[in-house]
Structure 1
């Protein structure tokens, strides 16, 4: 339930020459005893940080994040009782930045996609020992001034002038008589909602692994890991001198590789005070591994061990899923997936964290959701984002946009591909994401919250099916980023885009029927189950001949097999044909966004496990492990984002931190590791490791809603040894090669079988 606000949004009375600081006095009502409890709620049109009595209220950064601002603006809420424990009057203070509200977003050179004005709202509720309640909030009595941040942009970076910083500004007793007045902004308070998902916070810190001078004389720093966040700088030098940090993910020809950033400057500038300065640009974030440093006092040799610290920033998600194995490249691939998710789950599940984009592309999360919910506890994070998807969809006649929040609709010169209708995979996120969340955590709340959105998407597509019952019209991304496509035309895939579309909507219809069953919505069960069967029939009639699927490529077979669209005889032939195509490719990957999440399952489920392993463990480009051999520490957007000679892919669209193609990690956990869910929320587990590919051991673990589940297997001397942990309140079905199925009760178990 949202809060009933008495505070109002306030903004500086006149435009300032820097990011605003605002402060207001907190005078506690006397005569009511000690402060028993105190809660602060705050939000902003922009991004905001809050202090009470000069001390930070919370570890949160980039509050209130990015939501569908037209209809929903989140607020933070924290217990601040300890900050009022002494019962004395104090000061409530906030700092504002442009963030997503007023900052540059998208590809157009435009600011203020949501509004020209920054504003903050804060409300302190104090409960005293005698039951008295006092409410203090932002109003016309507050004061404002420009702070040390002279400019800030999520894409372009932050500039901070330490000469303008007075550490007393947020403390009691500071003289703000020289500050200006504020005025109230008439923003609709009914739009304010509490967070559903977690806040963005500092997650960890990394020190430089190497500092050196490039061939052109530039000072370069390598933090050893492609990450998302910023660099905290400790420096002392001449007052008025400036240290500049430019960020990028890769090096090219031994220099900073900035072309993939497109127009994003990704540059922070710090003007020194003359004393010992500490800079931390918390109103921006960058995707980077390398930093180019210019203007450091004393040059490269004067950069001390603690001068530069990379601060990793992400939504504060709890890690729950782990995997390791005997093949170091595969283990590194898994860690790359983890880092890719960590960097792109920054309030919104973004496509990339570095260039002039960073948008909540629905196709990326549709592909990746089953992996996401396995690696981290992402339930509330995705529920929060799905609320925005639902709101955007409701205001577009059931159309699920390409990105959520839908920035593309707000761009002044929208690209040619502005969505005019539903699109397979991308729009299917409305169904695939909540289903992944429910299956992982077992709580039907996400289905109840999302069901109308799920149903609206499928019904909208149903109304656009041809007379043949196919989704065979309109724009489709298809198998986006097929590795055989021209780098400048990423939609030119081998897979027929309408075969992909019809397969996807058939899957979505079946999922909505499953969700309706879970929710006890019997009418909708019949509606969507019937539609799913009709789509399956139409798919086979139009696209399948003797086990051959139209366009005869790996993606169409993968979708047809995993989505269970084929009759038994055709299924066997299609599985064989898929294995043939994989072998013909030299066991190189040949799928894009649509096919990649499913190809390993399609192979292993049709008796072609060894082909799946050969595909997984291929190291030549294109493959999952090729980037690992090239030093990647996250998942790339393209299979060849960097070419074997170390040059960057010539396509305009190239990112080195894009999680979608890392969706294979879900299969790695379930099939290689051998731990899967037989019932939503892992109430019943499937333990079925399938060794292969020359691996001698693998281990996977998961903090399920019921406790820790774990599978470890080792192969030696023709024997398969398996150790299993089954959580309390659950059971596990075990399938081992050459052995009878068995049920395991909660506890620790050791099993053996003949190695395959």
Structure 2
């Protein structure tokens, strides 16, 4: 046995943390099956001084074990030793470290500094300071943040690889700072430079393209702590002794792009000016920083029918294009970005709406590498102007997003489904850029709450979202209240609050993080926000106890919208509002139980029961009909467990009938789509779910794949079969909401789902889909790696399962009765399919009577030979063996072969 992947607050040997009670996690690797941790022992030291000794704790907890020692000190490196004993009496040890930042914001001596350039000056200011060090340096830490987005350079090299720092927060309430180890960058004579772009703080933002959402001047804030080997310390901090100048970045806006002039930029130099700033809003970096995580070479160079010179990178991404070129002095190169080409093959930037997404470079005559600093684009194609021969330049697309660890894998034998999974994965990467944006390309890119909550389960199967959502939920909590409710976007720049399915994010996302990562603290941190959202709805209910007033998005962009006057779909929007009201009330009830709040648990349990009864009285008839017999109306009734038990079968039939009326296609929008396949699979209609999933014509998930999509579209018909586009003015080709089907792919197709928080106990129950004969699913949980590999081929089913140490799995094999409960280990199962067994049973010595007694055979005979039982010759052959029948009645041979062929065909389709 050994320990691996030791972490403090989800990070490996982090620096710059300010958690007063950091939590420790580790994973166990063991060659023995059924391994469970019996005890752990944690020791934390500051140098040689023990500050925490847990003693031997008899517990299987190995995830997020909370520090309970002496008060931690600022700027201190702590060493952590973990010793574990398992149930086989094996021992293992592991070590890790963590380093604190500043616990008290009063320890910051720096001032927020700005400039007094003319209001029409668009160049990004560069704040700089020169200083000397005359002693040997032991260590140096730089703490930095900005009103805007910043980069720091120390003696030439850039500090760190993070981009768009400090990220987007509710700036008036919270401002992140970053911690950098800069020991290796310091010399005797030093120069620190800090460039600040408008970013989200001052830049153009929102549909109306308004600037100055948070302030009209950017600012820089930095504090460099140098510790010398003789034990003395020195602090270099931003103040009015710093200089500020304009630099080569002449213009920068997130929506519009960036202009860099390296040839003849006009430089203005001033003294920095102190800017009023409340240091109490400072908080250490909370989530993974945004980084360039992948570099993509061009797939093709194109000259369009209009004569445009394009580069196709083959993948719709969020990020930047790096250009390596040697141009003439003063030569201007313009890079325009777009997601797609029009039906004639021309550059099509219309999906960007008012966002220009244009980067401009002015060359200095030398070999140069251009890469924007303070913007990002959503694109697959670039249009290049100012270069005659594109082959003389080197173009690289740089994918950029919050650097969350990849934890999930899904692949199968169907290439189109694999492309769908790729599209889902890229949609996540492209839109999880410090906040969960709705889209990365147009004049929006906002933290829409509805999109994020419907996708949160899928996101958490693919990437480790714990820190990402923790940070975002802190902004949500800061901007929510009992009086206003929960905003539609977060951070809030719209001033729009409280709509079902959108504002319900306040309850759903913390619950997803708790269930996925076993993180109880996110429930503690967001308890007020969670229960106040439910209380807000309660306060706005009518006498019947239901929420039936105010604006609602309904089943946004549902395809049954022709029955409605707007984009809210045909399902009664207040039915949806109250369905979610009941859903999140139950989440709050469960959260109260987890947090040990018995009184609150009883309160919300009673509210749940009362509201559910009112809902049933309002939205169902006595015979089980729904007020909105739409797909979404039936789906939420089943998935949220709203329907009475006696009505569930009727509502399921209503759903199936509706689907049939749409020729086995969905017609759902943002609310119904995440749950439709779940509702079918969990209520005995999995084959119908599989049918919908595998559809390839409009509307379907695979339709966009067939149309060449490399990300998830906002609309089912963002691109029409003839190559034209939806012209609603709201048509992103990189919107992840409909990618929420990924949750069903992991849970139902690969069969991996949690039974206890963090997958301490989980279920493996794969379900076959016609057209998919093998599936690989894997998930790196907080306990270790789960694997579910399933194949159904040539009459055999094989299942391979891996269960990590310190967990338990419930295994339900396809076409097998009952379940198995297994501890850690690797397990393989192989057995014949039911149809292969049936074919075997149809031996030449069986009688035809025995054959047609099988329900599957009856279905096959009726399908392939209608009316065959009326054939006198067949009736005569009933008592014979098949060999005798075929000898005396060769006319029956085609019938027999048809049945066997049909069974074999169904076998290949995993029926």
TM bracket (short chain): over 0.9
What is the Cα deviation at residue 408 of structure 1? 0.8
TM-score calculated relative to the size of structure 1? 0.94
Query: Which range is displaced more, 561-570 or 705-714?
Result: 561-570
- Whether the 8 Å contact between 1:398 and 1:453 is mirrored in structure 2 is no
Note closer, same or farther for the CA distance 1:472–1:753 as it changes in structure 2 (3 Å cut): farther
Residues 338-377 of structure 1: CA distance to partner in whole angstroms, max 9, x if unpaired?
0000000001100000000000000001111111111100
The correspondence of residues 519-668 of structure 1 with structure 2, limited to 5 A, is: 519-545=595-621, 546-668=623-745
From 146, 153, 156, the counterpart of 2:256: 156
Distance in 1 between residues matched to 2:162 and 2:416, nearest whole Å: 35
Q: Deviations over 1:488-525 (max 9, x none)?
A: 96524121101111100100000000111111111111
Output the CA distance in 2 between the equivalents of 1:505 and 1:455: 11
Answer yes or no: is 1:458 the counterpart of 2:534: yes
Instruction: Give the corresponding residue for 1:27.
Output: 132
Given that 1:398 and 1:457 are in contact with CA atoms closer than 8 Å, whether structure 2 keeps it comes out as no
Residues 65-214 of structure 1 mapped to structure 2, 5 A cutoff: 65-84=167-186, 88-164=188-264, 179-214=269-304
Instruction: Pick one of 373, 383, 405 that aligns with 2:491.
Output: 405
**Paired residue for 1:241?**
331
Q: Residue 683 of structure 1: which of 760, 778, 785 is its match?
A: 760
| Aligned-partner SS, 1:743 | strand
How far off its partner does 1:451 sit? 0.9
SS at match of 2:317: strand
Residue matched to 1:744: 822
> How far 1:238 sits from its partner (Å)?
2.2
Instruction: Name the residue aligned to 2:476.
Output: 389
Unmatched segments (≥5 aa) in structure 2: 1-17, 19-102, 834-910
Q: 2:416 aligns with which of 324, 329, 338?
A: 329
Q: SS where residue 163 of structure 1 aligns?
A: coil
Are 1:255 and 2:333 counterparts? Answer: no
**Which range is displaced more, 1-10 or 204-213?**
1-10
Q: How many residue pairs are counted as aligned between the two chains?
A: 726
Question: Which residue of 366, 376, 401 maps to 1:285?
Answer: 376
Distance 2:429 2:635 in 1: 28
| DSSP 3-state at the match of 2:691 | helix
Conserved in 2, the CA contact under 8 Å of 1:441 and 1:680?
yes
Q: 1:165 offset after TM fit, Å?
A: 7.2
- The aligned residue for residue 720 of structure 1 is 797
In 2: Cα distance, 1:747 partner to 1:662 partner? 32
Structure 2 counterpart SS, 1:729: coil
What is the root-mean-square deviation of aligned Cα atoms in Å?
Answer: 1.7
Q: Is the 8 A contact 1:262 1:355 kept in 2?
A: yes
Quick one: which of 304, 310, 314 aligns to 2:397? 310
Match of 1:415 in 2: none
CA 1:676–1:302: 2 relative to 1, 3 Å: closer
Quick one: distance in 2 between partners of 1:319 and 1:533? 39
Query: 2:545 is matched with which residue: 469, 484, 489?
Result: 469
Q: How far 1:245 moved relative to its partner? A: 0.9
Residue 222 in structure 1 maps to residue 312 in structure 2: yes
> Aligned match of 1:46 in 139, 144, 148?
148
Report if the CA contact (8 A) 1:583-1:611 is conserved.
Answer: no
Aligned equivalents of 1:330, 1:483: Cα separation in 2: 23
Q: Which residue of 2 aligns with 1:414?
A: none
Q: Which residue of 1 aligns with 2:899?
A: none
Using the TM superposition, give the Cα deviation of residue 20 of structure 1 relative to its aligned residue in structure 2, in angstroms. Answer: 1.0
The alignment partner of 1:303 has SS state of helix
Moved more, 136-145 or 499-508: 136-145
Higher RCO (CA < 8 A, seq sep 6+) = 1
Partners of 1:243 and 1:294 within 8 A in 2: yes
Residue 171 of structure 1 is matched in structure 2 by none
- Stretches of structure 1 lacking an aligned partner (at least 5 in a row): 167-175, 410-417
Shift of 1:34: 2.7
The Cα shift of 1:164 comes to: 4.4
Q: Select 1:367's aligned residue among 438, 441, 454.
A: 454
Moved more, 39-48 or 535-544: 535-544
Q: Secondary structure at the match of 2:241?
A: coil
Which residue of 357, 361, 367 corresponds with 1:266? 357
Q: Give the drift of 1:223.
A: 0.5
Q: Which residue is equivalent to 1:709?
A: 786
TM-score, normalised via structure 2 length: 0.78
Q: Deviations over 1:253-287 (max 9, x none)?
A: 31111212111111111111122222111211000
Partner of 2:123: 18
Conserved? CA contact 1:319–1:377, under 8 Å: yes
Deviation string for 1:127-159 (max 9, x for gaps)? 122322211111122111111111111001001
Question: How many Å separate the matches in 2 of 1:288 and 1:486?
Answer: 32
Q: Secondary structure in 2 aligned to 1:661?
A: helix
Taking the aligned partners of 1:707 and 1:432, their CA distance within structure 2 comes to: 25
CA contact 1:547–1:572 (8 Å) conserved in 2: no
How far residue 398 of structure 1 moved from its aligned partner, in angstroms, is 4.5
User: Does 1:342 pair with 2:429?
Assistant: yes
Separation (CA, whole Å) in 2 of partners of 1:41 and 1:486: 55
**Structure ID, larger Rg:** 2
Structure 1 CA distance, aligned partners of 2:353 and 2:257? Answer: 14
The 1:165–1:56 alpha-carbon spacing in structure 2 relative to 1, beyond 3 Å, is farther
